[in-house]
Structure 1
């Protein structure tokens, strides 16, 4: 058997699919909301911004902030560093706050966020097995060796067939 080509272990997510999956995540989050509802959404930039916007709309949460954690340089992961914090007065220790990201992969980003917001509810659209325990709510699990291609990273173009040429 031959080794898979890079795109064969890729999971390509369209804008439509991301929207459907983020809405499904919102429905799950509504079921675990605190009695007085979610106070705010904090998106982990940049990947968490699109799903956070959809979730905030679906759950009618008007207060949205961001936390920027840089751990990737293109497709290479390094140490996670916070480059922008959410408003401390707004988020406190995280009670009643939803933290949204597109994906939990190795968990480095979420470990940093959890240390800053220990009582926040962390949710991702997609999760990999190595770190899914860091997420309280997610929609779809993919294998650890799958690379997710998000719509903001893609452009429509011709693609060669998987194997051989006809």
Structure 2
């Protein structure tokens, strides 16, 4: 750290608000997303943005009766710190063909759109696809066609696959 520079904070440290989501709540939110998507489809395939989009994509594909599921693997977070985007695996040629090369009739699914960097990259790959997320933050919200819950930009969502049940002290004992 040089002179008067502030130390770099992780996304979680910058996030002032915690939003824990249980498995039950996440499943309900994914089904609610599917109700909205059912009005928009049909879709030829679901493209999950990994890793966060895997669980909602499975639920949405099941509920919509879509059998073709592909992934686009993009790394943007290292635990809780956002970094440069890396495409680890692109969309398959077969899925691209189903979408006519532009994504028409394809459904992109992710758990969350945050800053929109990942969404923008996937939108460039599939400009005509329908993009759906379970949760949306204001910076990324304009990239998404369908979502269920908007949270503030300073909210940190704790997804059920990233958490475990543990003892939590009472508020009177200093718990946050």
Task: For residue 44 of structure 1, give the secondary structure of its aligned residue in structure 2.
Answer: strand
Task: Find 1:77's aligned residue among 75, 82, 85.
Answer: 82
Q: Deviations over 1:49-94 (max 9, x none)?
A: 0000000000000000101110001111011111011212322321
Residue 113 (1) aligns with residue 113 (2):
no
The CA distance in 1 between the partners of 2:144 and 2:114, in whole Å, is: 11
Residue 44 (1) aligns with residue 49 (2):
yes
Mapped contact 1:79–1:108 kept (Cα < 8 A): no
Task: Find 1:31's aligned residue among 39, 63, 66.
Answer: 39
Deviation, 1:134, is 0.5
C-alpha RMSD of matched pairs (Å): 1.9
1:161–1:117 Cα change, 3 Å: same
Residue 101 (1) aligns with residue 110 (2):
yes
The CA distance in 1 between the partners of 2:118 and 2:95, in whole Å, is: 21
Runs of 4+ in 1 over 2 A off after TM superposition: 5-8, 160-165
With the length of structure 1 as denominator, give the TM-score of the two structures: 0.90
For structure 1, the residue ranges without an aligned partner over 5 or more in a row are none
* Other-structure match for 2:156: 147
1:113–1:7 Cα change, 3 Å: closer
1:112–1:8 Cα change, 3 Å: closer
Aligned residue pairs, count:
159
With the length of structure 2 as denominator, give the TM-score of the two structures: 0.85
* Other-structure match for 1:63: 68
